[in-house]
Amino acid sequence: MIIAGIDENGRGCIIGPLVITAYFIDEEKINELEKIGVKDSKKLSEYKREKLFEKLIEIGSYIQEIISAKDLNYLMLKKKMNLNEIELLGISKLINKSNAKIYFIDAPFNPKKFKEKLALLLKKNVEIIADHKMDEKNLVVAAASIIGKVIRDREIEKIKREINFDFGSGYVSDEKTRKFLEKVFQEKKDYDFIRKAWITYEEESKKIRLKKIIDFI
């Protein structure tokens, strides 16, 4: 029986896409995930994730919804969708176009409400097992988190090459990212890979404007 794990990567970043991944594997092969060292992607080095990525696509398969920052801005600003709604829609698309019997999902909000809302978007009857921190509790979800992290990191590196600037991870907790944002605000650049619909974007803009005023004084 084919089962699937679904997880997201890049939900809280300010630069780059949101990646939602469904990883599929035969239930009889789950022990292989443990043997190769699968765990939550956040607990693995970049080198280890890349190695596991190659092994995971040998013993299973995956599909993804990659939602660019430009599309996120459109959905949030024009369509007035919040991040939970966007992620819910992306997850439903993955399930509707795949054929697993059971889906283990890292729920982006209250698991009970998540399952209720997801059921309204599904075109088939499947078993959904959703909870918080499923990437830590379930090996198939952890596998999805690894695949998604590798793909998202590659997308981030692609952006860096295009603009010839290393802005770090794309999270505001990263000093390189904050310095890049400061440069963007100062030069009044308009990059479509930045999530302008994020509250974080406005907060960082205010901080930088305040810093300029203080420095001027």
pLDDT at 135: 93
Token pair in block for residue 70: 């430009």
* Residues 115, 132 share a domain: yes
Residues 6+ apart with CB under 8 A from 213: none
Angstrom distance (rounded) from CA 85 to CA 203: 22
* Residues 183, 144 share a domain: no
CATH of the domain at 115: 3.30.420.10
* Residues 113, 53 share a domain: yes
Last residue of a domain, one of 143, 160, 177: 160
For residue 119, the enclosing domain spans: 2-160
* Residues 178, 138 share a domain: no
CATH of the domain at 199: 1.10.10
Q: Is 60 helix (H, G, I), strand (E, B) or coil?
A: coil
Structural domains of the chain, count: 2
Instruction: Tell me how crowded residue 47 is: count the other CB atoms within 10 A of its CB.
Output: 8
* Residues 180, 83 share a domain: no
Instruction: Give the bridge partners for 102, in sequence order.
Output: 3, 127
Angstrom distance (rounded) from CA 217 to CA 212: 9
Last residue of a domain, one of 124, 141, 160: 160
Query: Average pLDDT per run of 10 along the chain, which is 217 residues long?
Result: 96 95 96 94 94 97 97 94 96 97 96 97 96 95 97 97 96 92 88 87 64 44
Q: Where are the alpha helices (DSSP H) in the chain?
A: 30-35, 46-59, 69-77, 83-96, 111-121, 134-137, 139-163, 175-187, 199-216
* Residues 50, 152 share a domain: yes
Write down the pTM of the prediction: 0.92
* Residues 67, 31 share a domain: yes
Residues 6+ apart with CB under 8 A from 52: 36, 37, 38, 44, 146
* Residues 145, 206 share a domain: no
* Residues 65, 150 share a domain: yes
Last residue of a domain, one of 141, 160, 179: 160
* Residues 143, 196 share a domain: no
pLDDT at 186: 85
* Residues 175, 91 share a domain: no
pLDDT at 154: 97
* Residues 123, 50 share a domain: yes
